[in-house]
């Protein structure tokens, strides 16, 4: 993360001074380095810091390398970031090696405002780890910087607000999850109730069908019994002296098949209807009625409609007869 703020004239002057005095400072580096190793105070550490302010690889570099890398970082606007490759860390490590170098101190002074602003921006964006890293750089550069206390407090406040917001989001997510579970349970209860109602209706339909079949069987049995009694009575009755003339034979001209009722076709219901009808002398059906239907009232209408459309060859006298019309769904 970098802050794109135009460098001040003081920073430019410091950079030029660093470049101009670089060669002169090289002869004093060994002695300065030795002095730094014995007199430079150990950097302050925050409570249980995650990492030191200056990366270990930067601390292990020599003064010449640090000076070159710092100058390059400034040219590329890497004043305080990324971690381990920025001008602040290079100059802090160079100050540890050369604590009396005025150009290093001037460069750190010029870099301080930019680092403070970047820290505040990191807090605003809730990049608290980055903000703490920058705070460590500021504290190492100048522990007495007035902004340190305010920034630390803003980090604490920001983390607390983020934590409370996270807790609120967690509670909201938990409430939403519980509501979803409750809704799913309600749907399951409703589905079970619907399935139970469907099972009840199916049982009622099956019972109604069973009763209808039983009623049909009783009716057919009664019809068979009546037919048997009639046949027995006819056998016992005395025969007439002269048999009645046989009715003329019917020769069909057109006998269209009955239409299959759509409901019966969809349900795969089959059956038959015994129709009694009268054929007039013109060969047309003049009267028709259902004598027996199995099952009842399913195919009656279509059977009557079909018989009424039948035509026969003309005859001398009307003839009444019976025909059975069968209904069976065809498999397609």
Q: Distance between CA 265 and CA 271 in Å, rounded?
A: 11
Cα–Cα distance between 114 and 80 in angstroms, integer? 8
CA-only gyration radius of the chain, Å = 54
**Beta-strand (E) ranges in 171-266?**
252-254
> Residue 248: pLDDT above 80?
no
Nearest to 111 by CA among 254, 212, 15, 197: 15
The domain segmentation of the chain, as residue ranges, is 9-145, 252-327
pLDDT 10s digits, 111-138: 999 999 999 999 999 999 999 999 999 9
How many CB atoms neighbour CB 265 within 10 A?
A: 14
pLDDT band, very low/low/confident/very high, at 89 (cuts 50, 70, 90): very high
pLDDT band at 228; cut points 50, 70, 90: confident
**pLDDT for 81:** 94
Task: Read off the pTM.
Answer: 0.42
13-68 pLDDT per residue, tens: 343 333 333 333 333 333 333 333 333 444 444 445 557 999 999 999 999 999 99
Percent of all residues in the chain with a pLDDT value above 90, rounded to a whole number: 65
CA 262/CA 251 separation, integer angstroms = 31
Q: Which of 32 and 98 is assigned the larger pLDDT?
A: 98
Mean pLDDT of 194-214: 87
pLDDT of residue 229: 85
| Whole-number Å distance between alpha carbons of 217 and 119 | 96
Q: CATH classification of 252-327 is 3.30.2420.10, yes or no?
A: yes
What is the pLDDT, as a whole number, of residue 1?
Answer: 39
């Amino acid at each position: 993360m970098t802050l794109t703020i135009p460098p001040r004239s003081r920073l430019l002057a410091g950079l030029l001074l660093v470049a101009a005095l670089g060669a002169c400072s090289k002869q004093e580096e060994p002695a300065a380095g030795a002095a730094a190793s014995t007199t430079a105070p150990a950097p302050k550490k925050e409570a249980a810091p995650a990492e030191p302010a200056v990366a270990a690889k930067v601390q292990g570099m020599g003064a010449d390398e640090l000076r070159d890398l710092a100058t390059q970082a400034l040219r590329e606007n890497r004043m305080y970031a990324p971690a381990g490759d920025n001008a602040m860390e290079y100059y802090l490590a160079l100050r540890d090696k050369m604590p009396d170098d005025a150009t290093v101190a001037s460069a750190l002074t010029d870099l301080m405002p930019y680092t403070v602003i970047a820290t505040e921006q990191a807090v605003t964006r809730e990049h608290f780890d980055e903000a703490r890293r920058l705070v460590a750089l500021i504290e190492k550069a100048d522990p007495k910087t007035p902004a340190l206390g305010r920034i630390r407090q803003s980090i604490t406040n920001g983390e607390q607000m983020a934590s409370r917001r996270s807790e609120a989001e967690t509670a909201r997510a938990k409430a939403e999850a519980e509501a979803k579970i409750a809704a799913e349970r309600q749907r399951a209860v409703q589905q079970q109730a619907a399935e139970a109602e469907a099972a009840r209706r199916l049982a009622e339909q099956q019972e109604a069908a069973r009763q209808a079949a039983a009623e049909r069987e009783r009716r057919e049995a009664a019809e068979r019994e009546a037919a048997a009694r009639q046949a027995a009575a006819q056998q016992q009755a005395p025969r007439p002296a002269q048999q009645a003339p046989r009715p003329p034979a019917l020769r069909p001209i057109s006998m269209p098949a009955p239409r299959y009722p759509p409901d019966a076709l969809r349900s795969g219901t089959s059956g038959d209807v015994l129709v009694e009808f009268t054929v007039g002398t013109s060969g047309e059906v003049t009267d028709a009625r259902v004598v027996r239907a199995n099952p009842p009232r399913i195919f009656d209408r279509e059977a009557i409609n079909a018989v009424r459309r039948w035509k026969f060859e003309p005859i001398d006298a009307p003839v009444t007869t019976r025909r059975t019309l069968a209904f069976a769904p065809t498999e397609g």
